[in-house]
Structure 1
């Protein structure tokens, strides 16, 4: 089974989608700095089991359009794009799965539009309820001003660093937080340094990552660069303000959480990352031994099996 590529019109933009199969719709939402290719192991595997599997490049990424304003990348825009893709495909609902930043989009789609979500799967990142104060304020207090998400806030700085040598960027960024990486301390950028100082260059690539994979990412980002993805981070406080009406509202669709036991995100989360109080219909948490942050790329067979079991539970 082959992966097909085309563009759909969504919210006055052109979004690129990769797709395979037919049947109930499954949307796969990538994180940073990724694109449709991060789901290469899921697209055909899930399609062979009777699903229409669609992995878009989200706004600002790879082949999709890139709105010019930072304010064009709020969580409301991103959820709106997910719903717009369903509309463009003529579907009333879908299972929405997301990884990393894409998990945040998937969880918030389930929160804001539960009528359109048959089920939600978060990979790496659990649903994090709205905090009592803006995100960047809490990060400065808890992590210090050098925390990498705060480093990402200033337009143009991280953009230039990551674009300087995209091959080196992807080689370092895909290796460092993986289960094969060094599992270092807090993600704090040193004074006068950059984000890539936190990401050592591997002597050799781990088995799940090939030179062809890195070359593909480099090619997909050649025109788009990294600004669109970084703009997501630059909206964290704006998202906090926009989601005030949903403060304390639970996520109601059936849910699944998948995480590697070597994922750096676990160091900042409670022992049970997904609370039944905020996700009452959680069907399970799958922890993958030895797996780091790039869940569906590092452990495709286990992720595929967990997803298919969840799909079957939805009826």
Structure 2
């Protein structure tokens, strides 16, 4: 990999850890990771973007790794997460950036595009689509849909419950998430645990070395509370984003998803409606690919990403 500099900055009331690569004069590109991931999830994109002349900024998002992990659930609402990145862009003097996000990072990226229509000139989102503000909080809908069966987002709602399970063996937890994405689609009683009864696969996937895994594990050494608190703000997010209702994402936008991604099942309706809200949308479905798209199909993601940014 090209030389990567780690910085910790004070922004929006927290310490935000950033990994930066590429020429100082290069156009800025931000890479926002999701759950349960870390800045190292972009390891295949950072050197390629830097070599192409971009200045790459990869934060450890609020609650992760060396960044601050406030205790309160409300400290992880969507506008606060966006404000972390907005404040960092202010600090670095960014006037025009390309914003790239995966999973929860994609949710933040979508909303940054709405909040910053002038400063964010291009948008790339991976795995999580967007079709505007829902008519009521998503968590209300999910409570109705999953009253009689298990859903991992509902399981994450009660503070302390998921933390106890996921933190019991962090390496096992992360390996199961990486290698058995069907855990998110399990058919079982609503009171079940997420990973109970799921067998640990043998070898790591080809895209994750033991060294890579150790970086992921270190990210969660302080626990899962902060990252899980992102999931506990659906109602607050809906309330606080009312002023964005009806807005379109007008930036040129690239959307990528794997053909085996469980999100494609959960968000089928959103995927269908997305072009109505994102008029300048280019989208691709990557074959033989699950949810961890930027590492599972890194070369293809890089090709599509570079071509899009250069256009």
Q: TM-score, normalised by structure 2?
A: 0.93
Q: Deviation string for 1:124-161 (max 9, x for gaps)?
A: 11114211121111112223363110110111111111
Distance 2:47 2:37 in 1: 18
Q: Are residues 1:103 and 2:106 paired?
A: yes
Q: 2:65 is matched with which residue: 33, 50, 62?
A: 62
What is the deviation of 1:211? 2.0
Which one of the candidate residues 46, 53, 71 is aligned to 1:50? 53
**Any idea what SS the aligned residue of 2:229 has?**
helix
3-state SS, counterpart of residue 274 of structure 2:
coil
Taking structure 1 as reference, are residues 191 and 83 closer, same or farther at Cα in structure 2, changes over 3 Å only? closer
The 10-residue stretch of structure 1 (194-203 or 40-49) with the greater mean CA deviation from structure 2: 194-203
* 2:195 counterpart SS class: helix
2:285 alignment counterpart: 287
| Aligned partner of 2:310 among 304, 309, 312 | 312
Q: Does 1:161 align with 2:162?
A: no
- Tell me by how many angstroms 1:93 deviates: 2.5
1:251 aligned counterpart, secondary structure: coil
CA contact (8 A) 2:253 2:278 kept: yes
CA distances 1:165-221 after superposition (whole Å, capped 9, x unpaired): 1011111111112xxxxx468345645531123854213222112222212211222
Q: Does the C-alpha gap of structure 1 residues 266 and 200 become closer, same or farther in structure 2, counting only changes over 3 Å? A: farther
* Matched ranges for 1:213-252 at <5 A: 213-223=212-222, 225-252=223-250
Unmatched 5+ stretches in structure 2: none
Map 1:74-113 → 2, pairs under 5 A: 74-113=77-116
Work out the CA distance in 1 between the residues paired with 2:144 and 2:245. Answer: 22
Match of 1:7 in 2: 8
Indicate the residue corresponding to 2:264 in structure 1. 266
Q: Does 1:211 align with 2:210?
A: yes
Number of residues paired by the alignment? Answer: 306
SS at match of 1:41: coil
User: Is the 8 Å Cα contact of residues 146 and 190 (structure 2) preserved in structure 1?
Assistant: no
Deviations 1:93-125 (A, max 9, x none): 211110001100000100122122011111011
How many angstroms does 1:268 deviate by? 2.2
- Residue pair 1:257, 1:286 contacting (<8 A) in 2 also: yes
**Structure 1: tracts of 5 or more residues without a match:** 178-182
**TM-score, scaled relative to structure 1:** 0.92
Cross-structure match for 1:29: 32
5 and 185 in structure 1: CA distance in 2 versus 1, 3 angstrom threshold: closer
Q: Conserved in 2, the CA contact under 8 Å of 1:94 and 1:118?
A: yes
Residue of structure 1 aligned with 2:119, choices 105, 116, 119? 116
| In 2: Cα distance, 1:164 partner to 1:98 partner | 29
Aligned with residue 151 of structure 1, among 147, 155, 172? 155
* Residue 17 to residue 273, structure 1, CA distance change in 2 (3 Å): farther
- Answer whether contact 2:183 2:195 (CA < 8 A) is retained: no
Q: How does 1:115-134 map to 2 (within 5 A)?
A: 115-134=118-137
| Partner Cα separation in structure 1 for residue 157 and residue 214 of structure 2 | 27
Partner of 1:140: 143
For 1:180, the equivalent position in structure 2 comes to: none
